[in-house]
Each structure stands twice: as C-alpha cells, then as structure tokens.
C-alpha cells in the first residue's frame, strides 16, 4: 500500500518535492475512519493525514498500523512490510532520517522475500532510495530508484501514477548530482504521466521541481513558466497550509534572489518560513535550508540579517546531526555529516568574502561553527564505544568482543585475498563479513545511546579556557568559496578551494587569515615537501626552499601575531594533516621546532575532553617490538592454498625484512618503562595487541605501511610496496582478475602494521597484519600514550573535515589519549635514538608528551649526520600534551639519548620486499645548513585574489506572477590575474 509515500524524501532533499497522493486540502479537516478498528481503516487514515500535510498525526497512525499488523499477520508478512515502509516514510517526512532507515531496510527485506508483492516492494524501494539520497548516498539511491522504476513499468496502466512518482524522484537525484539534461528528460516524462493520470498533488511538485531545474540550467523563462503554473495549482490543491506549498515558496524565493528581485524574494521566504514552521515545526531540517538560502539574499546588503539567518540554519542542522549520529555505523555517520559541508562553506565564505568580512561578530559565528562540527563523526563514534566500556556489562563485553572478532576475520579475508576460492566466492565472503560487522556496530551505537551523557554546547569561550597561557589554537579549515550574491546557471559561482586559519588565544581573542594561494597549490606544495623529506638525497636544496615557501603561506601572516607563544595547538585540515610543522623554515632561517612545541588535534573541540581520563583503570605498559615476521603462526594452522593468478592484494604479496634496531630500542625502553609487559619476536603478535586491556602505555616498534591514493605504498629509493593497479582503482586497492576487482571497501584497510607471522599469514584471526580497521577495536580506554614506532603510521585517506582515516583515527576510536605517529618511512637507527631519548624525558625529567618529543627531535637535529628533517621530523604528537600521570622529574638525570652501534636494518616499512625487491637503508647526509641558507632567496610573493566583477541583471517581474530575468550583461572590469603560485 501507500504508493503515495513512495517519494516523500525528495520533497525534503530538494526545496520542492514531487509527492503523490490524495488531493485533500491541508486547510480542510482530515476525516479519519476512527470508528473502524481494522488495519485497512488505519491505513486509510495514514494516507489522508499525510495527504493533508499532517505528518505528526500520520506518524502516530503509522505506528499503530505496524503494531496491529505485526499482531495480526506476524512480523514477516508482506502487509507488515508495507506498514513498515509507511512508517519509515513518515519518519523521513518529519525529519527523522536515522529512524527511517532501519524501518525501510527491514520493509525491503520482508517484501523481497514475499511473492506477488511487486507493487509494495516498488514503494518500499522508492522510500529507501529517498532515504539514501537524504543521507548522501547517491549511488545507492539511484540503484533503488531504477529497481522501483522497473517494477512500476512492469505493472502497466494501473501503476502509471506510481511510475510518475518514482520517475520524478529519480529526476530529482539526477538534478542533485549535476546531470541536468537527464533530469529534464525524466521530469518531463513524469509530468506527462501525472497530467494524464493524476494526482494533481504530484503534478504540483513536478512543476516546482522542474522550475528549480530550469533555474539551475540558466533557462529563466522556462523556470518562471513552471512556477507561475504551480502557484494557482497549489492554492487549489492544498490551500495555504501544507509543507509542499512552503517548499514551492522557497524555490521561488531562491529563483527571485538570483534575479535580484529582493523585495519579492523576501516575501516568498517569509511565506515559506511561516508555512513550514506551522506544518513541520520550528526545528525541521527543511527550515535550515530555507534560512541558509535566505541569508544569501542579505549577504551583500545587511550583514546582521544574514548572520542571524546563518545562526538559525546552523542551530537546526547541528541539532539534526546530533540525533543522526546517535545510531548507525561510522560510514552512515560520515554520509550524514556531509549535509553540513555546503552550509559551512557558505558561512565561511560570507565571513571572509561577503558583507560580514572584518566583522568580529561574524568571525566568531564562523569559528564557532567550525569548532562545533569539525570531526563530529570521529567524536560520535568514539563516544559510542567509550560509553559502553564505561558501563561495561557482560552483554556489552560480548558485543565488543564479537565486533573485534568479526572485524579481524573481515580484515584477514581482505589481506589474504581469494586463496583456495574463486574471486566471486571471496567477494561473497567479504560482503557477508562486512554486513555482520556493520550490524554489530549499529547495535553498539544503539545500546550506548542510553549511556551517553548529554553533549554540552561547544562555545569559543569554553575552548579558549582550556588553552594553556603560553599557547594558541590554530584551527585550519579547507573550504569551497561560494559567491554570496549569485546570478549564474549553477546558482552559486564556486571559487577554487581555499584554506582559512582561525587563531584562538586563551583570553578568547580571535584572529583569522585566508591563505592567498588556493588550496590546490598548497596541497601540491605539501606533496613536494613530503617527497623531499622522505629521501634526504633527493634535491635537498629544493626541499628547503619548499619548506620556507610553505611557511610563508601558512605562517607568514600568523607568525607576527603569535608574540611570546611557545606552544601551538594545531588542528589541521585535509593535506595539512600530513605536514610536519616543526620542519617549516621561518624568515630567520630557523626550523619552527626551535621556537614552538607542536601538538596536533583533530579539532579544537578536543580540548574540552582531553585530560578527563585522570584516575582511569589501567594495566601495565605494553611493549611490542622486533616481531619475527617468519614465525609459523597460530598453533595447528595450515598453510593457505594458492589464489587465482594475479588476484592477491598487494599486502598479501609483501615480505617484511627484519628490523634489528627495534630489538635494541625495546632493550633500552624496558629499563625506562615502569614494569612493562614485553612481547618480542615470536610473541610480538596481533593477538597480544588485541588481548591488551587499557595498558598505561602502548609502544609498538615494527614495520608500518600505508597504501596511498597515488597508487603506491611509498616513494623514493627505500620504498618497496607498489600496487599493480592504476591509482583510480583506490581505495578499492587490489588486483584485477578477468576484469573483476577485489575491492578494499574501507579506507582504514589501507594502513596498518606488521607483526609476528606477517610473512607466513597462516592464521585466520591472527594473520600478522593489524590494519587500522582492526585497531579501532582495541581496548585502549584510559591509555595515556600510544607510540607506533614504525613507518607512515600517521598517514591515511583524507576525509574532508573528518581528518585522516588511518591508524591515527583508529587509536582515537580505541580510546587512547595521546598518539605518537610517523608521517613517512623512518630510519631505524635514528628512530631508536629518538624513542630512547623521548622516554628518558618523559619518565626521568617529567616532560610533557609534546615537549619531550620536541626536545628529543632537537637533539637529533644537532647531530651533523641527522640534521636533515628526514631523520628527526617524521614523528608527531597528537592529543594530550602534558606529562604522564604520576611522573615527577628526577634530579641530575642525563638527558642525552643512549648511543651505540646498530646493525643495518633500513627504514621501518622500507625494509620490505615485493617481487624480489630489497628495501634500502638510509643515505648519508652531510648537513642541512646550506639548504636553509638558500631557502630565503626563493620566497613566494602571492597576491591575494580580489574577485571578478559582474554586472547586475535588470529588475523584472511584478507580483504575483514570477517573470524570468533578462540575461546578465558582461562585467566592465578587466579580469584579475590569479595569484602567483608559492
């Protein structure tokens, strides 16, 4: 039943929807069949209430319908599946997308198993497709819409109206993904159907959506025609009190804003706000979209009005996101979080490029939005597991153990490849394991929801109060500039991405600066620097120059504002998360590490939670080092069979070479750590890590790897892991067999560490490879410090405002306070000395976790043979920076690193072999002073872009009709040249 609900979400995802259904006016009373207690009568009530725009009452009726049908027919009956589809659709209509998803997926499962229920299945597929589109999963939504279209076409004439409905939904998806000609074609087909078969309500929404499409295509006359046809139809079908009418006014207001008809646009915005508030409530996500668009109307003329509207939009979106992040998997949460990206781009664009520029009030709105929303998914996912561990019941323990087991099996299947099975069988196995892991993750989120404390409102003042007196917070954000006064075919002219930095002082002062060079150029500089730092013999003078230039871009303006600051809390974004800030060269030809101690944060909001774990239950420090990569594996394990030719993923073809330096590192550290549990050689296993429970300190010295999106696992002479597939295949990293790919669907499979048995890989649960995906299930609650003394452990796939998805993220999810990670392949000898000095400073001198690393790196820097940043700058400290709990400095302790002969071992992650290649050892380097001296001569002098003018279109149109604007006249100002590259 309820084909009328099949496309409810399109109206929510677009400003105008294409809902089909009964033609009851919203200002007329609904006529529920109250005296009829059977399920068919309640079903009709749901239809009537929904058609009248009374979504709250329809939701309550749909809940009764589900309960009655489960009792009457059972939970697996097709009628129950149809009722679940209706209930999911109503949750979606009321703005509760997360609750809708589980109901709609269950409905589809039931109806797929039923025979002769194609019409009901088509409805459920359409509703689920609308849900996925709302969530941001366009590909998934398209597949479901296409299935629904095929089923409706199969139904013939009786299903014609329903076919038009799902076609309009599909057209809306094409529109949202930029396929405008395809959208027009499908919209016109839907309109033809609804003109013939009705209902008028669906035709109304088709016309409004087509008008929005024509506006986006720049065909303003046709857009005006659709809107002028829709307005009287809306009055006849719904009156003035229905959500669809509010959405129509919203779309018209956006059209008029682009036509520079401000007074008429403001009138339609007011109508949209009033109608949607009455019918959906003041906190519905549709209103956030209205306020965000409405702010554009005032962005150039009344900054106070615009700022107020942006604050309203942010408030609603953040509240909606908070509820969306309560359940589901991490991937689900990531999709929901993308909703905020466009709004965040608009706010930052308004703050820097609109009428709000230079106004402290607007700057604080923008920074507040960044602090509240950056890395929200990471925070929510960590909170779910943390809440469960804090209140651990036997059932909770079982659930967490099961998640770790399934994730381990899934990761092992991905890393070993299709041994002893066909590619199709392997894909089926991994699909099953992923679905099982996702289901457990969703159950953990649901179960932990009752344990979680309420999230306190994040304010600039609260964050500033947690900044030490000698420190500042530098919050970087990469954003997409949007023209705040637009008249273009694309609605908003998009500039090239930019980086902005907000600097926050302990007293609450805020300063900001937009980088004069676009983000693409900065990202390119970061790549050049990283390549240069990974090989000290590769064009060192150019590397020094690039370090100086990047300093000028990122710190050139900021440095003058820092004054006596000694500690910089860095919250990087995008590619900047991979920058060793201490290695940048300032205008005095000094590395920044000589001036500042750096601590990396996922977001400045981290300051509100760091240090909250004092007095936590902890076990003894755990030291894992010098694994025997050729150990035979688990007792009784048998060798894995061969795989189809060419089908093994890269990591399954790697042979890891010994790292003798890690043995000496372990020997030195075990004398510094208090009563450590030590796992060396054959017992330095994946299982040892998975069985650990809240060790005070976790130190792992081994090979690390990261399979990057450039199609290689490494760069430079010492690199050994290279993929056999083109870069465009990533993150589906694998090989291809007869045109079929073996996917690695989760980016956290791309990084990990090698442990005992990694070269043999006989075990199923313990295969010797611990991926970041598995590491996120470790129990590190309350762990003060995790040091991964290995290569590339700080790398990962960049995930927008969510940071880097790799081992760094995994260890935060596991509950650790501080992570010490490497940004490139490290030298074995230098790393041993660095780590020994680091722990001496932590335990014998009582230094903070960040300052101890800084002083250890400075000690290496002053050794002539280790002055190149390759040797000392790779490791970064992320998270809490203060001294370890309970450590007091001892008097008269030596601070220098233990020195001694080290057998050759190469880099940790570079001493691997693939197809007969040998990893290299470090290349001698005579010093870095000349490099620094040459850097100043090649400073970047980039000019800030001023923007390009465009003449305003003439004012047209007289209320109540909507008229198309005249074509814009070309601007009179000459083009402004692009800023010079750094």
pLDDT tens figures, 42-91: 988 998 888 888 898 999 999 999 999 999 999 999 999 999 999 999 99
Higher pLDDT, 412 or 608: 608
Q: How many residues does the chain have?
A: 982
632 to 107, 118, 652, 682, 752: CA distances (angstroms): 48, 54, 16, 9, 20
Tokens of 537: 């013999």
Token pair, residue 840, equals: 């001496």
Q: Of 280-284, 658-662, 946-950, which gets the smallest average pLDDT?
A: 946-950
91, 99 contact by CB (below 8 A): yes
E strands, 628-738, are 654-656, 677-681, 697-701, 704-706, 736-737
Structure confidence at residue 877 as a pLDDT band (50, 70, 90): very high
- Which pLDDT does position 970 carry in this prediction? 34
> Given the structure tokens 């466009």, which residue do they identify?
342
Q: Is the pLDDT of residue 946 over 50?
A: no
Q: Is the pLDDT of residue 125 over 80?
A: yes
User: Which DSSP helix (H) or strand (E) runs through 479?
Assistant: strand 471-479
Cα separation, 224 vs 214, in Å, equals 9
Rounded to whole angstroms, what are the CA distances from 860 to 514, 544, 666, 837, 853? 34, 18, 19, 10, 11
Q: What percent of the chain has pLDDT over 90?
A: 38
pLDDT digits (tens, 9 = 90+) for 568-602: 999 999 889 889 999 999 999 999 999 999 999 99
The whole-chain average pLDDT of the chain stands at: 77
What 8-state DSSP symbol labels residue 567?
A: E
Return the half-sphere exposure (C-beta side, CA atoms, 13 A cut-off) of residue 78. Answer: 14
The 3-class secondary structure across 251-301, one letter per residue, is HHHHHHHHCCCHHHHHHHHHHHHHHHHHHHCCCCHHHHHHHHHHHHHHCCC
String of DSSP letters for 372-434? HHTTHHHHHHHHHHHHHHHT--HHHHHHHHHHHHHHHHHHHHHHH-STTS-HHHHHHHHHHHH
Mean pLDDT of 758-785: 82
| pLDDT at 854 (0 to 100) | 96
pLDDT band at residue 37 using 50, 70 and 90 as cut-offs: low
Task: Write the CB contacts of 690 (distance below 8 Å, at least 6 apart in sequence).
Answer: 404, 408, 766, 774, 777, 778
* Reported pTM: 0.77
Structure tokens belonging to residue 72: 């009457």
pLDDT at 233: 94
* Banded pLDDT at 889 (limits 50, 70, 90): low
pLDDT single digits (tens) 789-829:
876 665 555 555 665 667 888 898 888 999 998 888 777 78
Return the minimum-mean-pLDDT range out of 440-454, 461-475, 858-872.
440-454
pLDDT in tens, 132-170: 988 888 899 999 999 999 999 998 888 899 999 999 999
Q: Which of 307, 344, 311, 316 is nearest to 477 (CA)?
A: 344
Could you give the percent of the chain with pLDDT greater than 70? 73
């Amino acid at each position: 039943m309820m084909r009328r609900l099949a496309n409810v979400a399109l109206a929510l995802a677009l400003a105008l929807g294409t809902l089909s259904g009964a033609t009851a006016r919203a200002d007329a009373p609904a006529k529920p069949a109250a005296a009829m207690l059977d399920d068919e009568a309640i079903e009709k009530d749901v239809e009537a209430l929904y058609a009248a725009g009374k979504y709250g009452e329809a939701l309550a009726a749909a809940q009764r319908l589900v309960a009655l049908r489960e009792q009457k027919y059972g939970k697996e009956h097709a009628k129950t599946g149809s009722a679940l589809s209706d209930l999911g659709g109503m949750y979606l209509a009321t703005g509760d997308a997360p609750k809708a998803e589980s109901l709609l997926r269950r409905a589809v499962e039931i109806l797929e198993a039923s025979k002769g229920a194609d019409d009901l299945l088509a409805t459920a597929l359409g509703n689920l497709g609308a849900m996925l589109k709302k969530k941001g999963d366009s590909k998934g939504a398209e597949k479901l819409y296409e299935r629904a279209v095929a089923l409706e076409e199969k139904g013939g004439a009786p299903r014609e109206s329903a076919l038009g409905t799902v076609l309009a939904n599909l057209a809306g998806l094409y529109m949202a993904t930029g396929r405008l000609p395809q959208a027009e074609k499908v919209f016109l087909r839907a309109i033809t159907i609804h003109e013939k078969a009705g209902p008028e309500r669906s035709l109304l929404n088709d016309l409004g959506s087509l008008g929005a499409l024509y506006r986006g295509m720049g065909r303003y006359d046709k857009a005006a025609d659709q809107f002028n046809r829709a307005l009287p139809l809306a009055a006849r079908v719904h009156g003035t009190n229905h959500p669809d009418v509010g959405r129509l006014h919203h779309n018209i207001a956006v059209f008029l804003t682009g036509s520079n008809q401000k007074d008429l646009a403001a009138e339609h915005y007011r109508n949209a706000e009033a109608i949607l508030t009455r019918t959906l409530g003041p906190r519905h996500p549709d209103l956030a979209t209205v306020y965000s668009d409405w702010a554009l109307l005032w962005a150039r003329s009344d900054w106070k009005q615009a700022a107020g509207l942006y604050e309203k939009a942010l408030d609603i979106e953040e509240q909606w996101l908070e509820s969306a992040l309560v359940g589901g998997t991490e991937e689900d949460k990531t999709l929901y979080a993308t909703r905020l990206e466009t709004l965040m781009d608009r706010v930052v664009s308004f703050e820097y490029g609109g009428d709000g520029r230079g106004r402290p009030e607007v700057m604080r709105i923008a920074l507040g939005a960044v602090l509240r929303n950056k890395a929200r998914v990471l925070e929510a996912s960590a909170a779910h597991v943390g809440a469960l561990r804090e209140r651990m019941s036997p059932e909770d323990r079982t659930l967490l153990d099961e998640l770790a087991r399934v994730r381990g099996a899934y990761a092992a299947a991905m890393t070993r490849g299709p041994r002893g099975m066909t590619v199709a069988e392997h894909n089926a196995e991994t699909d099953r394991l992923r679905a099982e892991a996702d289901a457990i993750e969703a159950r953990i989120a649901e179960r932990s929801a009752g344990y979680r404390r309420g999230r306190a409102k994040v304010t600039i003042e609260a964050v500033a109060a947690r900044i030490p007196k000698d420190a500042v917070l530098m919050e970087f954000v990469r954003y997409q500039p949007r023209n705040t006064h637009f008249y273009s075919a694309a609605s908003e002219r998009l500039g090239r991405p930019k980086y902005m930095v907000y600097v926050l002082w302990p007293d609450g002062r805020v300063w900001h600066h937009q980088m004069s060079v676009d983000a693409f150029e900065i990202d390119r500089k970061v790549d050049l620097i990283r390549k240069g730092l990974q090989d000290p013999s590769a064009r060192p003078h150019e590397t020094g120059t690039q370090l100086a230039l990047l300093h000028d871009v990122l710190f050139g303006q900021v440095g003058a504002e820092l004054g006596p600051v000694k500690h910089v809390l860095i919250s990087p974004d995008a590619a900047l998360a991979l920058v060793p800030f201490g290695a940048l060269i300032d205008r005095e030809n000094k590395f920044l590490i000589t001036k500042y101690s750096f601590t990396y944060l996922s977001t400045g909001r981290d300051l509100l939670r760091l240090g909250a774990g004092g007095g936590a239950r902890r076990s003894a420090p755990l030291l894992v080092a010098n694994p025997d990569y050729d150990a035979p594996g688990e007792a009784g394990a048998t060798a894995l069979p061969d795989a189809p030719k060419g089908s093994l993923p890269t990591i399954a073809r790697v042979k890891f070479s010994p790292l003798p330096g890690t043995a000496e590192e372990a020997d030195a550290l075990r004398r510094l750590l208090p009563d450590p549990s030590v796992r060396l050689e054959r017992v330095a296993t994946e299982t040892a890590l998975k069985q650990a429970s809240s060790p005070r300190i976790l130190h792992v010295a081994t090979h690390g790897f990261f399979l990057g999106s450039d199609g290689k696992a490494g760069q430079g002479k010492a690199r050994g892991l290279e993929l056999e597939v083109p870069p465009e295949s990533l993150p589906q990293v694998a090989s291809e067999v007869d045109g079929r790919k073996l996917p690695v669907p989760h980016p956290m499979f791309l990084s990990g560490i090698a442990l005992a048995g990694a070269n043999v890989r006989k075990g199923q649960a313990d295969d010797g490879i611990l991926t970041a995906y598995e590491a996120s299930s470790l129990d590190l609650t309350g762990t003060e410090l995790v040091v991964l003394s290995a290569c590339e452990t700080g790398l990962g796939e960049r995930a927008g405002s969510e940071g880097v998805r790799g081992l760094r993220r995994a260890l935060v999810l596991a509950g650790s306070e501080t992570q010490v990670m490497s940004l490139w392949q490290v030298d074995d000898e230098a790393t041993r000395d660095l780590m020994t000095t680091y722990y001496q400073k932590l335990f014998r001198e009582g230094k903070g976790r960040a300052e101890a690393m800084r002083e250890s790196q400075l000690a290496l820097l002053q050794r002539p043979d280790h002055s190149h940043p390759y040797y000392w700058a790779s490791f970064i400290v992320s998270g809490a920076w203060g001294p370890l709990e309970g450590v007091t400095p001892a008097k008269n302790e030596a601070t220098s690193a233990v020195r001694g002969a080290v057998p050759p071992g190469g880099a940790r992650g570079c001493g691997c072999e693939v197809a007969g290649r040998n990893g290299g050892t470090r290349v001698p380097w005579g010093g870095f002073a000349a490099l620094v001296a040459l850097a100043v001569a090649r400073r970047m002098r980039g000019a800030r872009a001023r923007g390009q003018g465009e003449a305003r279109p003439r004012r047209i149109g007289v209320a109540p009709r909507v008229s198309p604007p005249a074509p814009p006249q070309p601007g009179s100002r000459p083009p402004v040249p692009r800023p010079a590259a750094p």
